[in-house]
A and B are shown apart, each in its own frame.
Chain A
Amino acid sequence: MPYVYENYDIVVIGAGHAGCEAALAAARLGCRTLIFTVSIDSIAMMPCNPNVGGSSKGHLVKEVDALGGEMGKNIDKTFIQSKMLNLSKGPAVHSLRAQADKKAYSTEMRKVLENTDHLTIKQGEVTKILVENGKICGVRTISDAEYPCKAVILCTGTYLKARCIYGDVSTYTGPNGLSAANHLTDSLLELGIDVRRFKTGTPARVDGRTVDFSKMAEQKGDEKIVPFSFTNTPEDIAREQVSCWLTYTNLETHQIIRDNIDRSPLYSGDIKGTGPRYCPSIEDKVMRFSDKERHQVFLEPEGIDTNEMYIGGMSSSLPEDVQYKMYHTVPGLEHAEIVRNAYAIEYDCINPIQLKASLEFKNIEGFFSAGQANGSSGYEEAAAQGIIAGINAARKLSGKEPIILDRSQAYIGVLIDDLITKGTNEPYRMMTSRAEYRLLLRQDNADLRLTEIGYEVGLISKERYDALCDKKKKIVEEIARLEKTTVGAIPTVQDFLEKHNSTKLQSGITLAELLKRPELSYQILEEIDLDRPNLSQDVKEQVNINIKYDGYIKRQERQVMQFHKLENKKIPDMINYDEVQSLRLEAIQKLKEYRPASVGQASRISGVSPADISVLLVYLERYGK
């Protein structure tokens, strides 16, 4: 018999990276929040790669931090190696990645959750979402306990009907043998939610003592560390770093895989879920890119207090005996002891086109969904959705408009817009090429883009906000100063230019103009910039980037203005597309299915043509009158 246990404002189902951010945001905004997890010991667990960040994912972490989220702070506490990727490229694609001590990461996040007001953690499996008149009214657990609430955030990750597979071995468990959530899918289906099955995988872990590192290339962390969180300085987080190691597969490895490919559940058809094109399994790499003679393999430590190492690049669902042979062909791994097998995991997730940009289901009021449950992949993608769902669930309860970041504001906006507008047929991974305005969406300016929003929402302290305003002011002032400070063709300047292989001056020029020269920078110009004020490193960086890439940044800003024109044309919820004359049938079907919130969003739906958009604009103009 179901019985009522206790009332809450918001219930979060799952305590992975999405669930933690969602629950923290909701509780910090004053909502009585309950977070469910199948195991308290698996809070913020990293069941796959032992790192946070990377290309474009690092951007997401910085954005979560700028909004007042936890992931950046938590990885700053627990990283064991830090690296800024793409430093030889432009600032827009610099991307921070840190190796995490997995155990410490989980423990530290759990500490934060346990010590957050209004937040209750509970171990248990939610089996039913309770909905009345299209509105959330609570959840029920496997023990028939009911928790009435006003909003629910689904953050089930890879746990829904999870099945782990290698070779012909398959177990109905979540990652790392944790118990799966086997009942909730039925409840979602009952609610009319479109559910699909995705697949992902993880490589084996080996005992570091049995690895011959002399056959591998050492991959050290950066000497100059950049923190993820804007609240930390490099000095705050300075520490000893550990190394990763690079080795390669070879033709022998590939031969073993080819010889046994019929035993792969992926190829035998036992796995039906759709896998990611990014991070393919090693058998996928070998079969799809058969002309490649070798693939990279990274050995990454799982933590400080363990000998376990992650074999990055070699995820697999081949049988145990094949894995054993395959890993042992890799230089340095000849005698490696495998601690955990590689496996593939299949799980249920929802089709994200059923969601609004607020991450609330279009059809069920108060029901939100975030993370891998929405068809994304990756810890960072999950956290990014988690904080947005948490904020918006809380705002919903206090009758406020949802926070929606658009494609020109944040990678988070790109991520969510892609998911809800384009849908996804594979676990969706963030990529820098998905962000059309990436010159503006840099990891270095995430705070300038988003912290004000975080402050208005209530997740950023007044102190942090004031510091941001001060930083903004200093940047503007310094740029203005460089734009009006002129240097003449005097000997010291000419000598300076000659020294830096830069063309000598014919007449006076502003420092800003000089800074635009490829061979010069804000830092280099210090020598001839006599009245330079004393500024912090992050202000200097912004000044340098903004002047140096001014032309490109301005062009993107113009593109953004165009983008906003359609984005600002809202489509009323009540619109009846059948009434819009001259829309093509395909467009009507798609628009009914997606129910876009703006004409801009409508224009990104595949199957809606520019002509349909014109028709829609004409119709909306009348509707507005």
Chain B
Amino acid sequence: MDGDTITGIASGMGGGIGVIRISGPDALTVAGRVFRTKRFIEKPDEEAWDISFFEKKASHTIHYGYIVAENGSVLDEVIVLLMKAPKSYTTEDVVEIDSHGGPFLVQKILTLLTRSGARLAEPGEFTKRAFFNGRIDLSQAEAVMKLISSKSEFALDSAVKQLEGSVSKYIEEIRQELLHHMGLIEAALDDPEHYELDGYGQVMESVIQKALEKLQALLDHFEDGRMRSEGINTVIVGKPNAGKSSLMNLLLDEDRAIVTNIAGTTRDILEETVIIGNLVLNLVDTAGIHDTEDFVEHLGVEKAKKFVYQADFVLFVLDASMPFEEADEKILPLLSDKKGVILLNKSDLDEVICLDEIRKKLDWEMIPFSSKTKEGLSELEKYITDSFLQGEISYNDQIYLINVRHREAVEKAVTSLQRVLHTIEDGMPEDLYLVDLMDAYQKLGLINGKTASEDLINKIFKEFCMGK
């Protein structure tokens, strides 16, 4: 029926595996754009890749490979199921991508698909198509619709809900600012003898610039792939083989990890969210999970600095079986003015490191730890909790978009606001600002579920004295 190709999450979002479905006439091509075989990854040659890869494969076959972003970076290792029309859920060409990643990675793949020719599916749209194409009967369709109307599709875990709350607040502030100015313009149009708009274009220009900056910040974070749950941004630093992975193992033990997130397109950074003494820590382990590389060298001094600078809390790992050396020394300048703790990795070997020497260089608490005996865990927990309660460290207040749908809405709002800027630049009359301002306002409302129908009218009456 509908001519376009849609994509969306086919499975629930809570689990570790996300199934992304693409349905529609271009489903095979869209999938072909983002999928690469193992052989391709081993010997990449973009020119030689055939995006009609799936069209040439038989229906109901399974393919192993990778999802690759436009810049060539590998997003995920996946299994792809191919179901050609009409033998599919929607009776259209359908491709299902079975991803290993958590919700954030799934979102990244969805984003990539929307850039590759698919549109994001509306809630229940696969089912709608299945129904309209005669694939399922009404009771089945209604059962699915029921799920949608109860909004469970979007109810993710509580951490995500919390995130949505802060996004909603952030967006609402932008909306209210826009609404105020829309109200003033409308008041002036409805009661021109009462309110004037002379020079209002300039006012509007700066209002919109500010809103655009705020929205752009949201989009930037989304693109960075640096989305995290609300928590203490914590960075682990240490020279190669100091014991960072041992520390990771210690912290991630006992099912502490609630989200596994391979963020970023370069795999430079691995991020884990763990709970320590009722606090959420967003653990960023620089230089990857492997403990063999020097992260300063790996990332470059500037980037390493930036990571540490952005952290709320630093875990500095030292190998207690070795003397304090140049590789440790190199890290010290990054740590000035930071809040953190020194963790002494107690291997089975004798303690060689001179604690007094370190104390002179960095006045941080020192906690010995061992991943084998779990020594140090409760001390660390206590230290972090105390610091938090004393207000020395705090949760990050960065707002993140977690949903591709939201990102689309923000992008559309940005486009609309840019249009308003053009309207102002072109010297168009003020009432024309409203066309796109209202659009931006409504698009942003999609994010926090606010409808616009009577807002403007109520605003006009509330803030402006109207009429004779």
Contacts and interface: CB of A to CB of B under 8 A. Distances in A.
Given A49-B468, A288-B465, A92 B431 contact: yes
Interface string B122-163: 111000100110000011011101101101000000000000
Given A89-B431, A618-B138, A433 B146 contact: no
A621 B132 contact: yes
A604 B460 contact: no
B466 interface: yes
Contact of A90 (B191, B194, B429): B429
Interface stretch (A117-125, A275-283, A334-342, A395-403): A275-283
B192 A614 contact: no
A606 B131 CA distance: 28
Contact of A422 (B122, B141, B453, B465): B453
Contact of B145 (A89, A279, A556, A618): A618
B435 interface: yes
Interface string A36-47: 000000000000
B461 A278 contact: yes
Contacts of B257: none
A306 B116 CA distance: 74
Interface in B1-48: none
Interface stretch (A73-81, A250-258, A289-297, A524-532): A289-297
B329 to A, nearest CB: 60
A622 interface: yes
Interface in A210-236: none
Interface in B408-440: 426-432, 434-435, 438
Interface in B435-468: 435, 438, 453-454, 456-457, 460-461, 465-468
Interface residues of A, number: 56
Nearest to A83: B193
B290 to A, nearest CB: 47
Contact of A431 (B146, B190, B430): B190
B147 to A, nearest CB: 9
Contact of B148 (A292, A555, A556, A614): A614
B194 A433 contact: no
A255 to B, nearest CB: 18
B186 A615 contact: no
Contacts of A618: 128, 131, 138, 141-142, 145
Query: Which of A90, A292, A519, A583 has the most chain B CB within a 10 Å cutoff?
Result: A90
A312 B467 CA distance: 9
Interface string B184-220: 0010011111100100000000000000000000000
B465 to A, nearest CB: 5
Given A90-B432, A621-B131, A433 B145 contact: no
B468 A313 contact: yes
Contact of B466 (A278, A312, A615, A621): A278
B406 to A, nearest CB: 16
Interface in A423-476: 429, 431-434, 436, 438-439
A280 B465 CA distance: 8
A432 B146 contact: no
Contacts of A556: 435
Contacts of B435: 439, 552, 555-556
Nearest to B182: A433
A618 B141 CA distance: 8
A518 B468 contact: no
- Candidate in B123, B189, B460 with the most chain A CB atoms within 10 angstroms: B189
Contact of B192 (A85, A617, A621): A85
Given A86-B189, A279-B468, A622 B456 contact: no
A549 B191 CA distance: 24
Nearest to B151: A611
A584 interface: yes
A373 B428 CA distance: 40
A277 B454 CA distance: 14
Nearest to A315: B468
Contacts of A619: 138, 142
A363 interface: no
Contacts of A296: 193-194, 468
Nearest to A553: B435
A549 to B, nearest CB: 7
A518 B427 contact: yes
A99 to B, nearest CB: 12
B465 A433 contact: no
Contacts of B139: 581
Contacts of A312: 468
A486 interface: no
B186 A433 contact: yes
A89 B430 contact: yes
A615 B142 contact: yes
Contacts of A518: 426-428
A598 interface: no
Nearest to B460: A433
A56 interface: yes
A429 B457 CA distance: 11
A438 B142 CA distance: 38
A133 interface: no
B142 A292 contact: no
A280 B467 contact: yes
Given A277-B466, A581-B146, A614-B145, A433 B124 contact: no
A88 B429 contact: yes
Nearest to A246: B193
Nearest to B461: A277
Nearest to A48: B468
A116 to B, nearest CB: 33
Nearest to B185: A433
A298 B123 CA distance: 54
Contact of B431 (A90, A614, A617): A90
Which of B190, B197, B428 neighbours the largest number of chain A CB atoms within 10 Å of its CB?
A: B190
A494 interface: no
A384 interface: no
Contacts of B122: 614
Contacts of B429: 88-90, 93
A47 to B, nearest CB: 15
B467 A89 contact: no
A581 B465 contact: no
A604 to B, nearest CB: 7
Question: Which of A276, A433, A434 has its CB near the most chain B CB atoms (within 10 A)?
Answer: A433
A582 to B, nearest CB: 4
Contacts of A429: 467
Contacts of B426: 518
B468 A298 contact: yes
Given A89-B189, A313-B468, A433-B456, 4 more contacts: A55-B189, A93-B189, A582-B145, A621-B132
16 contacts: A55-B189, A89-B431, A90-B429, A277-B466, A278-B461, A279-B466, A280-B465, A288-B465, A431-B460, A433-B190, A518-B426, A518-B427, A612-B149, A614-B124, A614-B148, A619-B142
Interface of B: 122-124, 128, 131-132, 138-139, 141-143, 145-146, 148-149, 151, 186, 189-194, 197, 426-432, 434-435, 438, 453-454, 456-457, 460-461, 465-468
Interface of A: 49, 55-56, 85-86, 88-90, 92-93, 246, 276-280, 285, 288-289, 292, 295-296, 298, 312-313, 422, 429, 431-434, 436, 438-439, 518-519, 549, 552, 555-556, 581-584, 604, 606, 609, 611-612, 614-615, 617-619, 621-622
- Can you list the 5 inter-chain pairs with the closest CB atoms, starting with the nearest? A279-B467, A90-B429, A611-B149, A277-B461, A312-B468
